[in-house]
């Protein structure tokens, strides 16, 4: 059985950075191999991880639908080959990118084949980390497996919190079997959580598991396009994030 962790949140809250820190944490704990899944249509998890991407699941689906299967090759063999090519390997983890949502037309056959092969792929990894956009339909398209932990990332803004609450409510409506949902407050000034935020979360039943402070090093890494997974472990933001992950996975 795989342990599946999904991350979601409004754009600009540092969700993908937190996903990278989670993968860094799992590596440190020797909880490997990890399958990192970038299911955000604005894919940039590879940048956080310092990896190049040469193919996506969306491209594979498009190629099959557009009749690019070579003569003499079955669709099953073609899509399996393309899926393997879309997996980017690294030390302790592999990355696969879902890519842009499909366009017009019927993708039923392609999606059915992809779901079957993706389920086989995920069976090879004891740990799965999925970086998702705010609307989480990509999770339900990826696999029928349950999501053990949903980590929702927000900043301290009212809009960010409202988005987090909507995501939590959406996760309950989708057939993705979320086990536990937690909110991480990112980019928090002085690790302070406003009383108004606490009241909103208590009312909606969304647990705030911890806060990650604003950090100049994280900001500079992101600004300069440096992989944030390489930030030293003694960095305050990294140490705080690791402590939060201890509470979730410990």
What's the confidence (pLDDT) of residue 232? 96
- To which residue do tokens 């600009």 refer? 12
Q: Looking at the predicted structure, is the pLDDT value of residue 102 above 70?
A: no
CB 181 within 8 A of CB 168: yes
What's the confidence (pLDDT) of residue 138? 57
Least confident stretch, 80-89, 141-150, 161-170, 215-224? 141-150
Better-predicted residue by pLDDT, 141 or 11: 11
Better-predicted residue by pLDDT, 188 or 243: 243
3-249: CATH superfamily: P-loop containing nucleotide triphosphate hydrolases (3.40.50.300)
- Please state, in angstroms and as integers, the Cα–Cα distance from residue 45 to each residue in 21, 95, 136, 198, following that order: 11, 9, 16, 30
- Please state, in angstroms and as integers, the Cα–Cα distance from residue 38 to each residue in 4, 91, 100, 112, 167, following that order: 13, 17, 11, 20, 17
Cis link prior to 33 (omega < 30° from 0)? yes
Structure tokens belonging to residue 12: 């600009």
The SS3 call for residue 219 is: helix
Helix, strand counts (H, E) of the chain: 10, 8
Q: Which residues of 131-149 are buried (b: 16+ CB within 10 A; e: fewer)?
A: bbbbebebbebbbebebbb
Per-position DSSP letters for 116-148, written without gaps between them: HHHHHHHTT-SEEEEEE-SS-HHHHHH-SS-EE
The pTM of the full predicted model, rounded to 2 decimals, is 0.88
| pLDDT tens by residue, 108-165 | 555 565 567 767 778 889 999 989 876 666 555 554 357 899 999 999 888 889 999 9
């Amino acid at each position: 059985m795989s342990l599946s962790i999904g991350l979601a949140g409004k754009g600009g809250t540092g969700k993908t950075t937190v996903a990278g820190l989670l993968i860094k944490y799992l590596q440190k704990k020797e909880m490997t191999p990890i399958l990192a899944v970038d299911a955000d249509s604005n894919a940039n998890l590879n940048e956080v991880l310092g990896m190049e991407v040469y193919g996506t699941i969306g491209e594979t689906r498009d190629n099959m639908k557009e009749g690019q299967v070579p003569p003499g090759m079955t669709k099953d063999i073609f899509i399996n080959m393309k899926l393997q090519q879309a997996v980017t390997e690294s030390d302790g983890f592999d990355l696969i990118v879902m890519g842009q949502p499909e366009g017009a037309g019927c993708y039923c056959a392609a999606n059915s084949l992809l779901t079957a092969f993706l389920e086989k792929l995920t069976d090879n990894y004891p740990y799965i980390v999925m970086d998702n956009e705010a609307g989480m339909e990509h999770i339900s398209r990826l696999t029928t497996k349950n999501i053990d932990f949903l980590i929702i990332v927000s900043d301290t803004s009212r809009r960010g919190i409202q988005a987090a609450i909507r995501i939590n409510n959406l996760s309950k409506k989708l057939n993705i079997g979320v086990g536990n949902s937690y909110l991480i407050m990112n980019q928090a000034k002085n690790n302070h959580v406003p009383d108004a935020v606490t009241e909103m979360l208590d009312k909606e039943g969304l647990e705030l598991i911890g806060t990650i402070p604003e950090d100049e090093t994280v900001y500079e890494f992101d600004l300069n396009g440096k992989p944030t997974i390489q930030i030293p472990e003694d960095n305050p933001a990294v140490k705080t994030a690791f402590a939060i992950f201890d509470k979730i996975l410990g």
